[in-house]
Structure 1
């Protein structure tokens, strides 16, 4: 269950008038009853999430502080709500959508409201306190829900199709190339090699699917007692893209240690019960009906390259504002080590 460790008082930069919100919801949600109090979920990022308490019923509020590229904040929040509504109608585990508000005068930003789904929330991918069987079941459930996301018909999502599959990969590599060039602070030989190799080696398999884009244990809510996902969170970066790129992004804890996000590196997979990467991929294939995954090293290299570019952006911003946070050196090390790992995967040719 969500505990006090998962919640914090609403942070100063995100505070809003709870009475004003309660009055608004009383007009737009038939079952809502004031008064209302709010808490903020920890680690909810740029677009924060809040737990709203009201008599007899709790809700989740997600607000948007940054728009999606090329559209307004109001259009962005509506796109998120349309996607979640479509997924709910398709039977995927998401909170029941209740209302979307594009008017930023209510709480200072556009937002949407979902039913709160109670359950267990795991922030540490090592799953401390569980036995080997329980850990294995949790990871199998994550593989299953990722496969179910990829099985959704892209046409029902309301997201721009824009050509998924290989087209998505080529566009993403080009965008990441541009982003990296804008933020580069040091010359890293492995990044230069990847920037040349990746666009020239996109696999021919042109499979298109919905991508969550950030699926990890922290973004899942599990049933209070069963190894079953009851809600998938954080759909902000969902796009129509390539399922194997999404799987590779999901597998990053096996490959990378990112400050504050946990890692599966260095653990005993047999003793812990957590599946190693090959076994986790096999579970995904079983749930998705795939016999095998070709060109896996390409998809891993793409996902690692993506991590390196994002880490480089953090390094660049930290250097520019002069604050030099304690993690800045750690992120700088991530860029170089992850780039080297990605290049080592593909240096001898893709599998």
Structure 2
């Protein structure tokens, strides 16, 4: 696994097999984006395991482009049109997302559908302990993440014109079925722990039902903080967003506290001196969210933890499969295989 870095968002040369047609892209942006003027430069972000992401620069402004991967794709994956739609709706409602500028479904432009958004300056913390922050700053950063998530879950779907963004009800049952199917489709090795989870999870779902707009990958690696202040200025990577149970979002975000040690380069708070860090306990963090969201305390937290560990294991398995097929977006995707078993084992 790669050495831990303080921040994510490094950019470098466009990787082999990921090149874009600069001339065609510049012509499209000139037509579609108000005020765009070339010449443009193209570099690629080091992250973006799923959808390749590029920094587009001009003499006057910077943009970010996300596209579908080239090659054969799993059904229901990489729906960047959904990313664009939800970000556009949330931006109009004043929620902190990058400004969406143009969507292109025409594969003839750069070889795959893509969208372009404004580039926002800020920090994406690679290490969930945020080692370069002072104690009070770290506490404020965690609280800002908590407040931002509670605010996301407060939106009325009809007011956002997103009532059809996902199916209501049976969220966990549908998600377990979806990720079980995608795990099977991308299977490369036998992982008995995953088979146990696939068999156990459907019968363990709590009975309560609730439908809200959820991010689907709400974690510090998708939160852009102000360059100097401990507050969220942008929520990124909406590929997995849908309508569903808000506790799926919350307890996925809460994996910072229960992520298995050594399973992820972002680290874990498991075993950390939280008081010294200025970070609340998991129980206090969840209680603060429930207070902001106006909901009762959460029962059966262990189910939600197991579900999220299983879900992440299935997502990582998809990255492993794309790495072996040569279509993964990240240069480090091939290193992911051991994480599948680590997450699945921790869920049992």
What is the TM-score of this pair, normalised by structure 2? 0.84
Instruction: Report the secondary structure of 1:14's partner residue.
Output: coil
Match in the other structure for 2:297: 292
Q: Which runs of 5+ in 1 are unaligned?
A: 341-351
Instruction: Report the secondary structure of 1:106's partner residue.
Output: helix
Structure 1 position 36 matched with structure 2 position 31 = no
Deviations 1:79-102 (A, max 9, x none): 322211111111111111111111
Q: Alpha-carbon deviation of 1:144?
A: 1.1
Deviations 1:193-249 (A, max 9, x none): 544442223222111111111111111111222222111100011111110011111
State the distance in 2 between where 1:81 and 1:187 align: 35
Give the number of equivalent residue pairs. Answer: 331
Match in the other structure for 2:31: 27
Map 1:119-198 to 2 at 5 A. Answer: 119-155=122-158, 156=160, 158=162, 160-165=164-169, 167-180=170-183, 183=187, 185-186=189-190, 188=192, 191=194, 194-198=197-201
Q: Alpha-carbon deviation of 1:141?
A: 0.8
Compared CA separation, residues 119 and 285, structure 1 to 2 (3 A):
same
Query: More relative contact order in 1 or in 2 (CA 8 Å, sep 6+)?
Result: 2
Structure 1 position 307 matched with structure 2 position 312 = yes
Match in the other structure for 1:343: none
Instruction: Report the secondary structure of 2:308's partner residue.
Output: helix
Q: Which runs of 5+ in 2 are unaligned?
A: 1-5, 327-332
Match in the other structure for 2:75: 69
Q: Alpha-carbon deviation of 1:3?
A: 8.6
Structure 1 position 204 matched with structure 2 position 210 = no
Map 1:184-263 to 2 at 5 A. Answer: 185-186=189-190, 188=192, 191=194, 194-257=197-260, 258-263=263-268
The question of whether the paired residues in 2 share the 8 Å contact of 1:103 and 1:109 is answered with yes
The question of whether the paired residues in 2 share the 8 Å contact of 1:311 and 1:332 is answered with yes
Q: Alpha-carbon deviation of 1:274?
A: 2.1
State the distance in 1 between where 2:31 and 2:147 align: 39
State the distance in 2 between where 1:4 and 1:55 align: 24
The question of whether the paired residues in 1 share the 8 Å contact of 2:7 and 2:125 is answered with no
Structure 1 position 113 matched with structure 2 position 116 = yes
Deviations 1:303-332 (A, max 9, x none): 1222344455567788999xx95654x335
State the distance in 2 between where 1:20 and 1:184 align: 37
Instruction: Report the secondary structure of 1:176's partner residue.
Output: helix
Q: Alpha-carbon deviation of 1:158?
A: 3.8
Instruction: Report the secondary structure of 1:13's partner residue.
Output: coil
Compared CA separation, residues 5 and 218, structure 1 to 2 (3 A):
closer
Question: Which of residues 82, 88, 95 in structure 1 aligns to 2:85?
Answer: 82
Structure 1's consecutive aligned runs of 4 or more residues displaced over 4 angstroms after TM superposition are: 2-5, 179-182, 184-187, 190-193, 311-321, 324-327
The question of whether the paired residues in 1 share the 8 Å contact of 2:49 and 2:319 is answered with no
Q: Alpha-carbon deviation of 1:288?
A: 1.7
The question of whether the paired residues in 2 share the 8 Å contact of 1:19 and 1:35 is answered with no
